[in-house]
Amino acid sequence: MPRTRVVVVVSDFHLGRGDALDPFGRKAPTKSSPPPRSDARFRKFCRDLARYVTDENVELTVVMAGDMLDLWAIVPDAELNPAKTQLLRDNLEFPAPSPGRVKAALTRGEGQITQAFEAHPLIAQGIVELLSVPRTRMVFLPGNHDHAIVHPTLQDCIRGIISDVGGSPVGSRMEFDLWYDDPELRLYVEHGNQFSDDSDYARFDDFGEEAPGFYFLRFVWNRIRANYQSKDQPITEALAWAADATFGGKEPLPLGLRFFVDYFDAFEDRLIPRLAPQAPLQALHREWKRQGRDVKPDDLAAALVSVFKKTKGKQPGFTLQSPGKPLDGIGTVRSIRLPGRTVPVNWNARVDGYWQGAASLFRARHEPFPKLPVTDYSTIVMGHTHNAVYAFLPAAGVHAGRYVNSGSWTKDRDPTYMWVSNHGDPTEWRGLRVV
Q: How high is the pLDDT of residue 228?
A: 80
Residues facing residue 342 across a β-bridge: 433
CA distance 55 to 379: 27
Higher pLDDT, 234 or 319: 234
Q: 162 Cβ partners below 8 Å, 6+ apart?
A: 124, 127, 128, 131, 170, 171, 174
Band (pLDDT 50/70/90 cuts) for residue 250 is low
CA distance 324 to 322: 5
Q: How high is the pLDDT of residue 130?
A: 94
Band (pLDDT 50/70/90 cuts) for residue 342 is very low
Q: Which of 148-152, 364-368, 397-401 has the lowest mean pLDDT?
A: 397-401
Quick check: 394 pLDDT over 80?
no
CA distance 344 to 258: 45
pLDDT (tens digit per residue) in 12-54: 999 999 998 998 877 766 666 666 678 888 898 899 889 889 9
Higher pLDDT, 222 or 233: 222
Set out the domains of the chain in order of their start, with CATH numbers: 1-48+55-70+114-197+319-435 (3.60.21), 218-308 (no CATH)
Q: How high is the pLDDT of residue 396?
A: 45
R_g of the chain, CA atoms, integer Å: 23
Residues facing residue 102 across a β-bridge: none
pLDDT (tens digit per residue) in 281-338: 666 667 666 666 565 666 666 666 665 554 333 334 333 344 444 434 333 333 333 3
Q: How high is the pLDDT of residue 76?
A: 94
Higher pLDDT, 249 or 65: 65
Quick check: 375 pLDDT over 60?
no
Cβ atoms of residues 153 and 110 within 8 Å: yes
Cβ atoms of residues 145 and 216 within 8 Å: no
Cβ atoms of residues 29 and 18 within 8 Å: no
Closest CA to 362 of 328, 385, 396, 322: 396
Q: What percent of the chain is helix, strand and coil (3-state, nearest 5)?
A: 40, 15, 50
What share of the chain in percent tops pLDDT 70? 64
For 324-338, give the DSSP string: ---SS--------SS
Average pLDDT over residues 195-223: 89
Average pLDDT over residues 223-250: 68
Q: How high is the pLDDT of residue 300?
A: 66
Residues facing residue 126 across a β-bridge: none
pLDDT (tens digit per residue) in 103-121: 999 999 999 999 999 999 9
Q: How high is the pLDDT of residue 364?
A: 64
pTM, to two decimals: 0.83
